[in-house]
Copies of this chain bind each other. A is one copy, B any other.
Amino acid sequence: MTGRDNGADLAPIGNSPVVILVRPQLADNIGACARAMANGGLFHLRLVAPRDGWPQPKAWRNASGADRLLDCATLHDTVAEAVADLHHVFATCPRPRHIIKPVLTARGAAAELREICTRDLRTGVLFGPERAGLDNDDMAHADALVRYPLNPAFMSLNLAQAVMVMAYEWWTAGEATPPHELMTNETDVATKAELENFLTHLVDQLDACGFLRNAPKRPGMVRNIRHFFQRGEVTEQELRTLHGIVTELAIGRRQLGRLERE
């Protein structure tokens, strides 16, 4: 099981936090956690006293190819042993009570982990068992707690979902993808001159067919058409298509006019 190598080629990217699953109960979840880690660019998995032992084939079956993370996972008896070589440890905890501790959002934790990792320090994040979560002794090993902002009326978060949110925030904290952009693929966003060229073509044809024959209303109508085509970015390819549509519709109309005159 641990020797096979038919999963994705997942080599660690830089210095990234260790995910430490404390007393995980279900091998399915361990596999799903590995998959979520790979999604978010986390590679180092440690298991503290998994309930049903380790390794377990079910984990590999549920990892969707993140085999390498499971192959390299290390097994530990206690949280103390699992965090011994780390410099900073965060503990995920949905409802901390009676504890004096810094509390971070997942986003805040990701930003701090990025910053700490940049300093070549080793970091880790503790995740508790499915049913009960981390206990107070587990949390005492952590520098800070991580509490996700989520619906307080429904806090029951699946273990792999908890790992997913942290992995996603870790990856996003190192990304600079703009929140909104126009994907143009093979074409480019048109310039205002190209758009104007099309609008001139359109208005000419609308004048020719009589659509704009109401002279007092004409300026307002032209302005409204202009507003519509300005609403979002337009690509050069789309302008070519729009030119074609106007030309073809106008040809049909001219042919109809010729037929009617015959």
As for how many copies of this chain the complex holds, the number is 2
Q: Of all chain B residues, which has the CB nearest A68?
A: B154
Distance A115 CA – B180 CA, assembled complex (angstroms): 14
Contact present for A184 and B100 (CB under 8 Å): yes
Distance A168 CA – B148 CA, assembled complex (angstroms): 9
Query: Could you give, for residues 125-161 of chain A, a 1 whenever the CB lies within 8 Å of some chain B CB and a 0 otherwise?
Result: 0000000000000000000110111110111111011
Q: Of all chain B residues, which has the CB nearest A186?
A: B98
Contact present for A39 and B161 (CB under 8 Å): yes
A40 contacts chain B at the CB level, 8 A cutoff: yes
Whether A150 touches B179, Cβ cut-off 8 Å, given contacts A64-B158, A185-B98, is no
Query: Could you give, for residues 16-50 of chain A, a 1 whenever the CB lies within 8 Å of some chain B CB and a 0 otherwise?
Result: 00000000000000001001101111000000000
A235 contacts chain B at the CB level, 8 A cutoff: yes
Chain B residues within an 8 Å CB radius of A153: 8-10, 38
Whether A177 touches B39, Cβ cut-off 8 Å, given contacts A10-B153, A154-B66, is no
Whether A145 touches B183, Cβ cut-off 8 Å, given contacts A100-B237, A160-B161, A168-B150, is yes
Contact present for B38 and A154 (CB under 8 Å): yes
The distance from the CB of A126 to the nearest CB of chain B, in whole angstroms, is 16
Contact pick for A96, options B112, B155, B183, CB 8 Å: B183
Interchain residue pairs A-B with the least CB separation, the first 7: A108-B179, A38-B154, A149-B175, A41-B151, A103-B183, A161-B164, A149-B177
